[in-house]
Chain A
Amino acid sequence: SAVISQKPSRDICQRGTSLTIQCQVDSQVTMMFWYRQQPGQSLTLIATANQGSEATYESGFVIDKFPISRPNLTFSTLTVSNMSPEDSSIYLCSVAGDRRPYEQYFGPGTRLTVT
């Protein structure tokens, strides 16, 4: 499985500001994903980020709020824009294997608190 790191591991931000989260993988992967895990809840997919194409967002998530970059096969960023306290969550990136059943492997997460 791939080794995935995220930066920052945690941050406290003021409302109205933006934070960019980085996800680095130690091998080239086609499919990367961004998830949100709100306190006490399960994981919700924000978007799929495949290199060479625009990110695909899930219902309830929009590019203006969560712009994503995927400049190469080992790196992606997620920006949380114009933050409000409701954005306080853990944000995780994951990568998928190349073969069925395409299991996913997760980064350690970024714990974001918006005050």
Chain B
Amino acid sequence: AQSVTQLGSHVSVSEGALVLLRCNYSSSVPPYLFWYVQYPNQGLQLLLKYTTGATLVKGINGFEAEFKKSETSFHLTKPSAHMSDAAEYFCAAGSGGSNYKLTFGKGTLLTVNP
């Protein structure tokens, strides 16, 4: 079974600083990987996804993530944080095929300080 671990339930950065949110997965098969963002009292919005191909994936709002198979990681980064980036971020993994289910990490709350 898939499992997804997000290191750090809360990350705090200054505006303009690098954002790094960590995600590790466990999978016996090549995974499909996703990052979602959630603003308070809203649903989750897809930031980016890795399925096959290029290991560096660019998403919306200037975020990107790199798939590293050797490290079973899919960390999310953004070079310069904005106040509007403050939200909760979820990493998710799935194995595709006939299995529609994604496994989600517990989430990382990002705080951006002025």
The finding on whether chains A and B are genuine partners in a shared complex, rather than unrelated, reads no
